[in-house]
Structure 1
Amino acid sequence: MTKDELYNISFQLILHSGNARSSAIEAIYEAKKKNFEAARQKITESDKELNQAHTFQIKLIQEEAQGENFDIPIILVHAQDHFMTALTLKELANEIIDLRQEMIHLINN
């Protein structure tokens, strides 16, 4: 893999992870407004972006498993950080949505 390809994959990871993170945050805001259907849609959008990012991450893992040695540029470390943060935030957003729905259910009953 060339250095340009490695940078391209890094930027794709950042792009899709950033989109996933934004959608997860928007899901939390929608849940706060009690728009749970919209919140779940935002989680679905986040999942799609995370799947895209994961595709690029898997490409790197497969290349390394096949013997490719990488000089790890800082941009790749940054990209991985974005990916892991987005994954964590999406999981947290799901929990926040669930909690808000449970609270409303308890208040209304």
Structure 2
Amino acid sequence: MNDVQLASFQIISAVGAAKSYYIEAIRAAEKGAFAEAAEKMKEGRAAYKEGHDVHFKLLQGEAGGDSQLLSILLVHAEDQLMSAETIQLLAEQMIATNQRLYKLEKQ
């Protein structure tokens, strides 16, 4: 396994965990467990950062002249990275919406 393949698997693993945390956060918010939702989002952001940092190192290497051949595995890793970011944004919005909904229901 070469460095790009290893980095790709690290990205996929980290952002896969991040997506799971974001979904858990949404589910917690749906039940009104907003502290739990916030904690899951925090864990998700930490996992996402791990994947993002690995990706950033690849970009730095490329910018420094360490050009790598493009692999379908790296493309998949980048796709997973982008989808995790999208899920994070949607989760934040869904949690905020659930907070407003719970607040309105209490009135």
Question: What is the TM-score when the length of structure 1 is the normalising length?
Answer: 0.94
From 7, 11, 17, the equivalent of 2:15 is 17
1:49-98 deviations in Å (ceiling 9; x for gaps): 01101110110110011012111110000000111101110111011000
Provide structure 2 residue ranges, at least 5 long, that are not aligned to the other structure: none
For 1:27, the aligned partner's letter is A
Match of 1:46 in 2: 44
Q: Please report the TM-score for the alignment, with normalisation by the length of structure 2.
A: 0.96
Identity %: 36
- Matches of residues 30-45 of structure 1 in structure 2 within 5 Å? 30-45=28-43
**Unmatched segments (≥5 aa) in structure 1:** none
**Amino acid in the other structure paired with 2:70:** I
Detail structure 1 runs of 4+ shifted over 6 Å in the superposition: none
The size of the alignment, in residue pairs, is 107
